[in-house]
Amino acid sequence: MEQPGNKLLELRDLCKVYGKTLSVDHVSVSLAKGEFMSFLGPSGSGKTTTLNMIAGLTEPTAGEIYLQSRAIRDLPPYKRDIGVVFQNYALFPHMTIAANLAFPLEMRRVSRSGIRTRVARALDMVELSGMGERLPGQLSGGQQQRVALARAMVFEPPLLLMDEPLGALDKQLREQMQMEIKHLHERLGISVVYVTHDQDEALTMSDRIAVFNHGRIEQVGTPAELYDKPTTLFVAGFVGETNLIEGRVISADGTSCKIATAAFEHIAGNGPGLKTGAQVTLALRPERIEIAPASGAPPPGGRTLAATVTETIYFGRFLKYVVSAGGLTLTVVEQMRASRLSGFGPSDQVVLGWDPENVAVIGKG
Amino acid sequence: MKQSSIWRALRIGLCAVTIVFLVAPMLLVLTISFSSAQFLTFPPPGWSLQWYRNVFNAPEWSDTLFNTIEVVIPTGVLATVIGTAAAVGLVRGNFPGRAAITGVLMAPLVVPIIVVGAAVYELFGRLSLNGTWVGFVLAHTMITVPYVVSIVSASLSTVNDQYEKAALTLGAPPWTVFRRILFPLIAPAILSGMLFAMVVSFDELIVSLFISTPTFKLITVQMWSDVMGDVNPTIAAVGSLLFVFSLLVLGIESMVRRGGGSGGHIQG
């Protein structure tokens, strides 16, 4: 994804200080042409401030922003040519939908006939043809969101920024709009930076995700990388549900290491260069653990562990178990299958199994 | 039940007394302005329009009335431009010293008006502005700017600044953002600020008293000296005209406010 010269946007050590707090702390990340990247993080993590600095609405305290290899830090927002979709749509309430869409084209001195055709095309793109003469207040939330999207794209900017654009919509409409935005992105090949605090939204829509916490980027990666190989405790905990197991390195060399937990030992490659005695955390997704009756054949996967069910929670599509195994409490998720619809009950003896490949080792600090 | 009806009666009674207390003098003046008598008597012995004719015929009234109009209109325009610009800067801007600037702009509302009058008189004396059209416009503008600032500021703080941010990102430079986006959204407040400024300027007496000269004075100053001297019902006619003018302007203002109040607030 990140060949040099293919970078559309690059943030280099971007910082923003408000009063005495460092809201954005040396953020460096780059975006390839045509890429869809999400900034994911809890509120106050600096993701929206970073977005506003890219848009030119907030002045960085330090650092530089490159758009198509050009430093744009000192460029005012109206000269940046970046489309922005705001959370509250920010459609001009005194202008018709058509006038809203024409506004950025007028600013670029597009001819009248050019404006007319491009506004019509934009309305068509978001399936709102015939709504051009209405005022924003006469449209539903979802329709307003579509107009906001069309307005930010009608002048064909190389980059589109979206700040929690679906935050005000209900769940069903949200999921529908997520798909629409994703399809528009694929069809038009526009590069997108998408700010959200919703991990599901980030996972389903993005090519890559940058996870923000306390003004810093904790990890950048594809949804699968973040989900399966979190490199920090925060990412492991924030993106999806996971079992976090405390452990200690009991032996290590250049290529592999052995980690002891309260209930089992885990052998892993020593990529991060862990030393003997180091405290680590293992992250293991609940759905990556197989569960089988203690009496029957052990479940597949390299590692097995005897456990006792302490709680069963029914979710319809799946069952969630809380089990205890040698001093550890783990969560296990089992999909409901046609072959066996009755799950285990409390105090049932079971055997857990998992592939060591699915365990992420997270160092301290 | 009984107790609440007693309270109700008391409340209505109190309101009625207040209204009579406030409105009765005005009605008295209105009635006397149509009097056929040569002096202030109530009830009037007969009816005539002679005092209104007098307002427009006697030079001391017609001259000062036109002087006032010549001051009120530019004052309204100037105060609106300055007040609106100040309000936008103070509400939207982010620079040090905003509180201090607000304090200075609002001072004419807080400082006793007689102190303002004396200070202006002193300053204008050095600048030879006493008794000049320019002097009156400047003094009235200073007094009326705070009204525009507070009305426009109140309206601005209800308009979400995302509209302006959106316009900036769509390629509009700041002045275009104001002209195309912000101005239409706060236009009702700007207009009502201007009308208020004009009413205040029209009614202003104290500062005008200080800076008036026999060659250039306003109608309020003329009324004042008339009341101090021999009293005839012309003063009632002038008073009634002023009253009707203010009523009219405030009526327009409330219509503007009601008609334009829908725009500018964030939805969703």
DSSP state of A239: S
Strands (E), A285-356: 290-293, 303-314, 318-325, 328-335, 349-354
Of B168, B185, B263, the CB nearest to A77: B168
B198 pLDDT more than 70: yes
Q: What is the H or E stretch that residue A35 is in?
A: none
Residue B228 has what pLDDT? 80
Contact A103 B167 (CB under 8 A): yes
In DSSP terms, A162 is beta-bridged to A85, A194
Contact at 8 Å (CB) between A330 and A313?
A: no
Of A82, A91, A93, the CB nearest to B169: A82
Task: Kindly report the backbone phi and psi dihedral angles of residue A308, in degrees, each rounded to the nearest multiple of 5, phi listed first.
Answer: -120, 130
Q: What's this model's pTM, rounded to 2 decimal places?
A: 0.81
User: Which residues on chain A are in Cβ contact (under 8 Å) with B165?
Assistant: 55, 57, 77, 84, 86, 90
Task: Establish if B165 touches chain A: CB-CB under 8 angstroms.
Answer: yes
A44 pLDDT more than 80: yes
Dump the DSSP string for A71-136: E-TTS-GGGT-EEEE-TT----TTS-HHHHHHHHHHHTT--HHHHHHHHHHHHHHTT-TT-TTS-G
Residue from A18, A54, A59, A107 to probe the interface with B (highest B Cβ count within 10 Å): A107
Contact at 8 Å (CB) between A66 and A7?
A: yes
Contact A92 B267 (CB under 8 A): no
Of A57, A89, A104, the CB nearest to B170: A104
- Give the alpha-carbon dihedral of A234, A235, A238, A243, to 10 degrees: -90
Spacing of C-alpha B204 from chain mean position? 8
Residue B263 has what pLDDT? 42
Per-residue 3-state assignment (H helix, E strand, C coil) for chain B: CHHHHHHHHHHHHHHHHHHHHHHHHHHHHHHHHCECCCCCCCCCCCECCHHHHHHHHCHHHHHHHHHHHHHHHHHHHHHHHHHHHHHHHHHHCCCCCHHHHHHHHHHHHHCCHHHHHHHHHHHHHHHCCCCCHHHHHHHHHHHHHHHHHHHHHHHHCCECCHHHHHHHHCCCCHHHHHHHHHHHHHHHHHHHHHHHHHHHHHHCCHHHHHHCECCECCHHHHHHHHHHCCCCCHHHHHHHHHHHHHHHHHHHHHHHHHHHCCCCECCC
Residue B95 has what pLDDT? 87
Of A88, A108, A152, the CB nearest to B268: A88
> B197 vs chain A: nearest CA distance in angstroms?
26
* CA angle centred on A109, ends A106 and A114, rounded to 5°: 80
**Residue A338 — very low, low, confident or very high, per pLDDT cuts 50/70/90?**
low
Q: Per-residue pLDDT averaged across B207-231, rounded? A: 87
> A90 vs chain B: nearest CA distance in angstroms?
5
Between A284 and A296, name the one with better pLDDT: A284
> B258 vs chain A: nearest CA distance in angstroms?
16
Q: Which of residues 34-93 of B touch A (CB under 8 A)?
A: none
Q: What ipTM was estimated for this complex? A: 0.84
Contact A77 B169 (CB under 8 A): yes
Contact B172 A107 (CB under 8 A): yes
Rg of chain B over all Cα atoms, to the nearest angstrom: 23
Contact at 8 Å (CB) between A191 and A160?
A: yes
Contact A89 B172 (CB under 8 A): no
Contact at 8 Å (CB) between B137 and B209?
A: no
The count of other CB atoms within 10 Å of the CB of residue B73 is: 13
Q: Per-residue pLDDT averaged across A67-73, rounded? A: 93
Q: Per-residue pLDDT averaged across B117-142, rounded? A: 95
The count of other CB atoms within 10 Å of the CB of residue A43 is: 8
Of B162, B170, B173, the CB nearest to A103: B170
The count of other CB atoms within 10 Å of the CB of residue A230 is: 26
Q: Which of residues 225-264 of B touch A (CB under 8 A)?
A: 263-264
Q: Per-residue pLDDT averaged across B236-246, rounded? A: 87
Owner of token pair 């994804």: A1
Residue from B161, B169, B262 to probe the interface with A (highest A Cβ count within 10 Å): B169
SS3 A296: coil
Contact at 8 Å (CB) between A349 and A306?
A: yes
Of A86, A93, A107, the CB nearest to B171: A107
Q: Per-residue pLDDT averaged across A53-74, rounded? A: 94
A340 pLDDT more than 70: no
> A143 vs chain B: nearest CA distance in angstroms?
12
Contact B169 A103 (CB under 8 A): no
> B256 vs chain A: nearest CA distance in angstroms?
16
User: Which residues on chain B are in Cβ contact (under 8 Å) with A83?
Assistant: 169
A203 pLDDT more than 80: yes
